[in-house]
Amino acid sequence: MRIGLFAADTVGHEIVSFFRETREPFACLLLDAMDRKALNAEMRRIADESRCPLVLTSDDLKESPPLSVLRELELDLIILAWWPYILKEDLIRLPRVGCLNFHPSYLPYNRGKHYNYWSIVEERPFGVTIHWVDEEIDQGEIAFQSLIPKSWEDTGETLYFKAQKEMVRLFKENFHRIKAGDIPRKPQDLRLGSFHYAKELEEASRIDLEKEYNARHLLNLLRARTFPPNPGAWFLDRGVKYEVRVKITAVKGKSEHAK
C-alpha cells in the first residue's frame, strides 16, 4: 500500500510520528504551508529519516506540476491527517483506492466547520470519523468512527482536544485494516446530520439582551464558545461589545435537590 500523507497540526504530527515508530514507509508528505503549530520542521526531519522521496506544502498544490509528480508516485491511498483544505476533484481521483479524511465529528452530525461548538449548542452526538473523500464536503462514506462522551463540564476547548486525542487513537487502532485494504464504506444518512459554514459562528454566538432564553440553551451557548484565547459568546450594550465565558463544575456527592 503506497500511502501519501497530508499532515497538519498536532494530529498530523502524531500520525507522521506513528509511521516512523512503526517503520511504515510513506511515499510522500504534504504539509500545511501555514504551519500554525510550528511542527513542519519536525515533520520534515521525520520524512528525511524515513527516506520519504517527496515533501511538498499546500502552496505547491496551487501549481499543476506537483500533481504530475504525485501521479508518478502511483499512490494507492491518500490520508488527510487534520488537513484543513478541500481537495479538488483531480487530486481526489489520483490515488488508486481513494482518499481518507480525518473529521472531528460523529458523522453525519456536524459536517463542516466548528464541530465542537455545534455539538454542544445543538446537543448532537460528538465523536470522530475517518471517512472516504468525495466531491461533497464531509459527505463521503464512513470508514471508522468513535463516539466521545460529553458532560456539562465540557466546553468548546475540551471537545477540541478530546477529538484530537481520539482521532489519533482511532487511526492507530485501525491502521492494520487500512494497510491491508480492508476499509469499510458505510453510507451516511444525511437526514440525521447537520452542516455548518464557518461564517455562521459569529452571529450564532451573539446573546441578545432583549431576548428570553431557555437556561439550558444559554449555558450551552456560553460553554460552547469557551475556548480561550479564542473569542467567547458576546453581546452589545450601549455600543460596547462584551465577551462571556463560563466554567461548569460537577459537585461531588448527591445534591439535596436531586430526585
Q: Tell whether 201 is covered by a domain.
A: no
41-90 pLDDT, tens digit per residue, is 999 999 999 999 999 999 988 776 678 889 999 999 999 999 999 998 98
**pLDDT of res. 258:** 56
Q: Tell whether 231 is covered by a domain.
A: no
**pLDDT of res. 68:** 84
188-245 pLDDT, tens digit per residue, is 999 888 999 999 999 999 999 999 999 999 999 999 999 999 999 999 999 999 999 9
Average per-residue pLDDT for the chain: 94
Q: Tell whether 224 is covered by a domain.
A: no
Range of the domain at 15: 3-195
**pLDDT of res. 102:** 98
Phi, psi of 29 (to 5 degrees): -135, 125
**pLDDT of res. 259:** 52
Q: In percent, how much of the chain has pLDDT > 70?
A: 97
Which conformational region is residue 114 in: left (phi greater than 0), alpha (psi within -120 to 50 degrees), or beta?
left
Q: Tell whether 215 is covered by a domain.
A: no
How remote is the C-alpha of 20 from its chain's centroid? Answer: 22
Give the strand pairing for 127-132 and 142-147: antiparallel
**pLDDT of res. 252:** 84
How many structural domains comprise the chain?
A: 1
User: Alpha-carbon distance 108 to 126, whole Å?
Assistant: 10
Q: Tell whether 179 is covered by a domain.
A: yes
DSSP 148: -
Task: List the CATH number of the domain containing 91.
Answer: 3.40.50.170
- Cell digits of residue 105: 465529528
Over residues 96-101, the mean pLDDT reads 97
Q: Tell whether 207 is covered by a domain.
A: no
Structural contact between residues 232 and 209, judged by C-beta atoms closer than 8 angstroms: no
Model confidence at 157: pLDDT above 90? yes
158-184 pLDDT, tens digit per residue, is 999 999 999 999 999 999 999 999 999
User: Alpha-carbon distance 225 to 217, whole Å?
Assistant: 13
- Cell digits of residue 64: 499543476
**pLDDT of res. 28:** 96
Q: Tell whether 75 is covered by a domain.
A: yes
55: enclosing H helix or E strand? strand 55-57
Q: Tell whether 160 is covered by a domain.
A: yes
Over residues 17-32, the mean pLDDT reads 96
User: Alpha-carbon distance 63 to 87, whole Å?
Assistant: 14
DSSP-assigned states of every residue in 60-95 = GGGSHHHHHHHHHTT-SEEEEES--SPPPHHHHTSS
Cα distances from 96 to residues 21, 75, 136, 164, in angstroms, run 26, 6, 19, 28
